[in-house]
Amino acid sequence: MELYRVQQWRPKLVLLLLLLLLRVWGSTCVNLFDLSARVAPLNGLMLHYYKYNTSCTNAEEFVQLIVNSAWKADRSVTAALLRLLYSDCFVTGCDASILLDGDNTEKYAIQNQGLRTNGLYLIDDIKKVLEARCPGVVSCADILNLAAKEAVALAGAPKYPVYTGRRDGLQSTAQSVDLPPPDVTWKQALAYFESKDLDVLDLGTLLGAHSVGMTHCSNIQDRLYNFNGTGRPDCSMDPNFLAQLKKKCPPGSKENKKVYLNPASGRNYSFESSYYKRVLKHQAVLTEDQQMITTSDGIRIAHEFAAGFEDLRKFFALSMTRMGGLGVLTGKQGEIRRNCRYTNANNPHLK
């Protein structure tokens, strides 16, 4: 009798367990790319703040016009602005602290050596125009966020919503720069993102910014000749691609030339899913990029975006908005700088 019961139960139990397993597996699978479950917290910002809440109603249109003409002259501004935005938002929040000049400010940290001056000059140009029209109204932090959106859209990404109303920070020190070096492992990069309240999908998605831009040979020298202290190249690299990169970045060269982060888009500076295709083919330039396919989440992200450009566009838009909300100053915090390179107290032209 007892035996009979147990036997009756067994198939049911197995079925139940199977269903449970499927549920768990299914839910983790779906969750990673469930757009509706992801949010970009407002953190006190709002859509079209300048239009609805200030006298500078056309601020966004001016940013768009100026970025448009800058991009037509030099498409690399997209990479420059993306890099500036990342360096700003991840370090002490999106408070334009990366733009401050002075002894030992964030821009002089070793991790920020690759910052391009064309992005900084473009921000100066936009600020000048806005100060002439509506002095003391539009923050440098918002200008950087709005300009990056325009430049990225021109490169092929969507026009994601940029919430505005940020104010500018008063401090910037090189010591506060905790950006990881380009040869981090995926685990280290993820820990860094999580320390800023972003997640694995933000990491995999925002790395798509490496669809455009360049890097110095010095950033990949170890990868080509002495990976992780082994005295040999990174064996995860496609051998043909390794040979190409070695040619461009010969050992011990003092020139420190630059190579495209994504040779498939190269000088077009176009935002595309080819970056993920190359990662899957072991043809990523930076260790950081190639590391993506060392974990199952990373592999799934790379496959998803390599196969679906529209998915990439959607998730990139959301992750950019999430990044743009990091550590923002609003209300009476900080100030509206009159010149993005100086706090108002240190501005030589205001004395």
Ligand X SMILES: *[C@@H]1O[C@H](CO)[C@@H](O)[C@H](O)[C@H]1NC(C)=O
- Binding region for substrate: 180
DSSP state of 339: B
Annotated binding site for Ca(2+): 88, 91, 93, 95, 97, 106
CB-nearer residue toward ligand X: 226 or 346: 226
> Helices (DSSP H) in 91-230: which residue ranges?
117-133, 140-154, 186-195, 200-206, 221-225
Using DSSP, state whether 260 is helix, strand or coil.
strand
Instruction: Tell me whether residue 16 or residue 46 sits nearer to ligand X (CB atom).
Output: 46
> Considering only 13-21, 249-257, 262-270, 340-348, which stretch makes contact with ligand X by CB under 6 A?
262-270
The active-site residue, picked from 83, 223, 322, 337, is 83
> If you search the block for the tokens 């498939």, which residue do you land on?
264
3-state helix, strand, coil in the chain (%, to 5): 60, 5, 35
For position 57 contacting ligand X by CB under 6 A, the verdict is no
For position 267 contacting ligand X by CB under 6 A, the verdict is: yes
Q: How far is the CB of 331 from ligand X (least distance, A)?
A: 8
The set of residues, in sequence order, having a beta carbon less than 8 Å from that of 71 and lying 6+ positions away, is: 77, 78, 150, 151, 154
Paired residues of 275 in beta bridges:
none
Cα 329 to Cα 47, 81, 215: the distances in Å are: 16, 20, 31
Closest residue by beta carbon to ligand X: 266
The H helix count followed by the E strand count for the chain is 14, 4
The four Cα atoms 144, 145, 148, 149 give a dihedral, to 10 degrees, of -150
Q: In this structure, what token pair is assigned to residue 69?
A: 């003409």
Nearest approach in angstroms of CB 5 to ligand X is 52
Instruction: Report d(CA 85, CA 79) in Å as an integer.
Output: 10
d(CA 107, CA 69): 26
Q: Which is nearer to ligand X, 49 or 71 (CB)?
A: 49
- Judged by CB under 6 A, the stretch of 14-22, 90-98, 251-259, 263-271 that binds ligand X is 263-271
Residues 14-53: x where in contact with ligand X by CB under 6 A, - otherwise, as a string: --------------------------------x--x--xx
Q: How far is the CB of 237 from ligand X (least distance, A)?
A: 12
Residue closer to ligand X by CB (options 164, 172) is 164
How big is the CA angle at 125 (ends 265 and 336), to the nearest 5 degrees? Answer: 115
Is residue 83 annotated as a catalytic residue, yes or no?
yes
Q: Report phi then psi at 53, rounded to 5.
A: -120, 0
| Between 232 and 267, CB nearer to ligand X | 267
Q: Would you say 102 or 266 has its CB closer to ligand X?
A: 266
Query: What is the pattern of x (binds ligand X, CB under 6 A) and - over residues 157-186?
Result: --------x-------------------x-
Size of the residue set binding ligand X (CB under 6 A): 11
CB 80 within 8 A of CB 144: no
Question: Which of 221, 226, 268, 346: binder of ligand X (CB under 6 A)?
Answer: 268
- 84/141 with CB nearer ligand X: 141
Site string for ligand X, 282-321 (x = CB under 6 A): -----x----------------------------------
**Alpha-carbon gap, residue 189 to 184, rounded angstroms:** 6
Q: Which residues contact 151 (CB under 8 A, 6 or more apart)?
A: 67, 70, 71, 77, 78, 81, 82
Candidates 195-203, 206-214, 260-268, 317-325; binding stretch for ligand X (CB under 6 A): 260-268
Stretch touching ligand X by CB under 6 A, among 67-75, 141-149, 195-203, 265-273? 265-273
Backbone angles phi, psi at 34, to 5 degrees: -85, 100
| Window 227-246: residues binding ligand X (CB under 6 A) | 228
Q: Which residues bind ligand X (CB under 6 A)?
A: 46, 49, 52-53, 165, 185, 228, 266-268, 287
Q: Write out the catalytic residue numbers.
A: 83
